Amino acid sequence: MTKTQQAEIRVVGVVQGIGFRPFIYSQAIKHQLLGYVLNTGNSAVKIIVEGEKNNIIDFIDSIERDKPFLAVIDSIQTIWRSSTNGFTDFQIHISKNEEKAGGSIIPADIAVCEDCIKDMSNPHSRHYQYPMTCCAICGPRYTTITDTPYDRERTTMVDFPLCEDCSAEFNNPLNRRYNAQTICCPKCGPEFRLINSEGLVVDATDVFQETVKLLNKGKIVAIKGLGGIHLAVRAELEEEVQRLRKLRNKPHKPLAIMSPNLDAIKQYARVNDTAKQLLLSWRRPIVVLEKIKKFQLAPSLAPGLDTIGVMLPYSGIYLRLFDGLQDVALVMTSANPVGLPTIIHANTFQERFMKMADFFLTHNRTIYQRCDDSVVIPTNDQTLIIRRSRGYTPEPINTANMGPPILALGALEKNTGAIYHKKRIFLTQHIGDVDTIETLQYLQESLSQLQKLLRISSFDAIACDLHPDFLTTQYAEKLAKEQKIPLVQVQHHHSHLAALLADHQLPMDEEIIAICCDGAGYGPDNTIWGGEILAGNAREYQRVGYLEPHPMPGGDLAAQYPFRMLMGILSKKYSQTKLERVFQKEAKKALPQGQMELQNVITQTYQKINTPLTSSTGRILDALAALLQVSYKRTYEGEPAIRFEAYANSGKNNPKVHLEIPVTRQESSYLLDTGTLVDQVFQQRSDIQGPDLALAAHLTLGQALANIAVQSANARGLNRIGFSGGVAYNKILTKTIRDAVELEGLTFLLHRNVPPGDAGTSVGQSLVARSQII
């Protein structure tokens, strides 16, 4: 008789909420093993098996080899024991809430799978046309879970007890809904209602069919989804899109749209292989695509841009909206007012914001964690994350450095928070601009949820930005004082450098060159940085190059009205009289108060009244956008620079264009004379096509930044050069810098899993803080 053994197996990683326990069950049966499997409170899975040792070994090998496609296994630990012969079968046990701090977490929300879509489309299925249909490998996760271990009673589905049919599927090991915590059906699941603008329930046999009829008539419908509330309207109706913009107070910011399938998307946008893979992925982000020349949708969807943000339906809720719709796309934009977090409560929307919609399609399942749609942009041969939220959160960033728990609060704009734990950094979902009490509270709540899921009782340090006026900085100071732990304030662009290290799993003491370009970051010299070439690691850095600082007439007004920035730059080259004479006609369009404001701006500049200096790359691009009459006002973050890139994309390499950026040595740093670049564009704008000048300006700036970075790397014997900051989303600049760096045989680092913009600063802050804790 063959001797049996027992093994206790602990699997750590992303292994809860993805059908992992049913997978273990099937593998145990296959390998003729007895015992049980259960989830633990720290997001690991514990398995006890008894059987022949060779079978157990094969079983352990199969866990890594054949795991579910969403599973991420970090470690498998096995303890061998003598068999107790105490089992007669293999079972899935009720989860055990072990309070020991964990190192992993449940997955993000998962797009509805093809099998569930088939169920929804099958008239003979009891899931026919039911919007909340899901199974063990798809459906809501992070937005619905209240705590770990991941079981129904710790999700918002606790309010919906399983009916007899769903319970049978849940308990049937041969069913794909076996042990799936969020399953439901029309009998036992959430219910939908359609409400009009007066708050009255619309009497309809099928509220989705009624909603589609309303959309076809041009109505704006608010829709409660998985992580928030959207506003939807037909994307071909220009007048209705403009009406939505007015109601939403979004005059020019690009609106995301949703289409039912790839064929529909190809009618208005270009879809390459990378974009196709992203669109069809289980994450289902908004993917920024190039518009086709004959763009047939409403022009005001993305005014002044050659791109459009598109996503495919990720829930049955959205799939049903396209059944009978007359368009290939719907606008699908968040319903939150400017300055407030995504709305998740139906009552809040009805009572305070119903004026933004004609109708409201809602359901009675609670959204526990609000979560915006993620946004990504395919660039060259990789993908950059603009907004890291649904489909990504709370998936961690793996690092090369073990460390204690550290809390990082990020900066101001497009913010996220982060928790450094062991060798991982966990980001919150997209928070937005933390310039109101409401968004600060949202950041606090999101970090508290992560802390609870990770079973972290306290932090060893708190990290934040260097800027003293940020709400995040002030809150970090308060927390550090209350908890009596170190406060680490990190210079903005140093955090960008450190984020590159974390994103590429490089040791925190490894030195690199980082080109950090964005709109603004508080410098240690009390000026506004934003065009920096840094040499350093997580612990320290040196500013080895930077763009020429220019005055910002009116301070923040120069960022809102880039013509002001242009005057500040050209004031170094021309007299007050000439600037007034040359630009008096343009000032009528470029400034709210026209010529009178122009005179005030120029006087302000020459007398140095409220003209803080900035080395910002964003402000240079803004000024060039104003100079070439591309954009005169910023209505959303980065608008002039984004429009300027779109304008440059239509340009050609014109041999008649002559642009340069002189470089001088300033003590230990290189100074790039961007004033000369702007002046040269000014002098040539009458003779050269605007798009050609715009393209040349991009190429010249990118090459100049790369040249200084390469020189600095060679001088220090370094072989890695990275590009970070919000300007790294600019494809022309990124490609120019990359080509120049790789031509010299050096390694180019671009972000992969961390947003290059300010949404990634919390990652860098946490690593800098880690480097300062012994």
The predicted-structure confidence for 262-273, as pLDDT tens digits, reads as follows 999 999 999 999
Dihedral-angle region of residue 432 (phi above 0 means left; psi in -120 to 50 means alpha; beta otherwise): left
pLDDT the model gives residue 103:
45
> pLDDT (tens digit, 9 = 90+) per residue, 203-232?
999 999 999 999 999 999 999 999 999 999
Is pLDDT of 499 > 70? yes
> pLDDT (tens digit, 9 = 90+) per residue, 428-481?
999 999 999 999 999 999 999 999 999 999 999 999 999 999 999 999 999 999
> pLDDT (tens digit, 9 = 90+) per residue, 548-588?
999 999 999 999 999 999 999 999 999 999 999 999 999 99
> pLDDT (tens digit, 9 = 90+) per residue, 340-375?
999 999 999 999 999 999 999 999 999 999 999 999
Lowest-pLDDT choice from 63-77, 273-287, 623-637, 721-735: 63-77
Q: Check: CB of residue 553 under 8 Å from CB of residue 605.
A: yes
pLDDT the model gives residue 493:
98
Q: Could you tell me which residue, 117 or 179, shows the higher pLDDT? A: 117
Is pLDDT of 678 > 60? yes
Residue range 232-240: mean pLDDT, rounded: 98
CA atoms within 13 A on the CB side of 206: 12
Q: Where are the alpha helices (DSSP H) in 230-343?
A: 238-248, 262-265, 273-280, 316-319
CA distance 120 to 286: 24
Confidence tier at 379 by pLDDT (50, 70, 90):
confident
pLDDT the model gives residue 43:
64
Share of the chain above pLDDT 70, in %: 98
Is pLDDT of 418 > 50? yes
CA distance 94 to 38: 6
Q: Is the dihedral of CA 179, 68, 72, 283 positive or negative?
A: negative
CA distance 769 to 464: 9
Is pLDDT of 155 > 80? yes
Residue range 293-306: mean pLDDT, rounded: 96
Spatial CA neighbour of 579 closest among 587, 630, 562 = 587
Is pLDDT of 174 > 60? yes
The separation between CA 364 and the C-alpha centre of its own chain, rounded to angstroms, equals 27
pLDDT the model gives residue 69:
83
Q: What is the mean pLDDT of the chain?
A: 95
Helix H or strand E encompassing 474: helix 471-483
Residue range 72-95: mean pLDDT, rounded: 90
**Antiparallel, parallel or unpaired: β 382-387 and 397-408:** unpaired
Residue range 507-531: mean pLDDT, rounded: 97
CA distance 306 to 288: 10
> pLDDT (tens digit, 9 = 90+) per residue, 610-660?
999 999 999 999 999 999 999 999 999 999 999 999 999 999 999 999 999
Lowest-pLDDT choice from 99-103, 463-467, 538-542, 684-688: 99-103
Tokens 């649904």 correspond to: 390
Is pLDDT of 531 > 70? yes
CA distance 589 to 436: 32
CA distance 72 to 13: 5
Is pLDDT of 311 > 50? yes
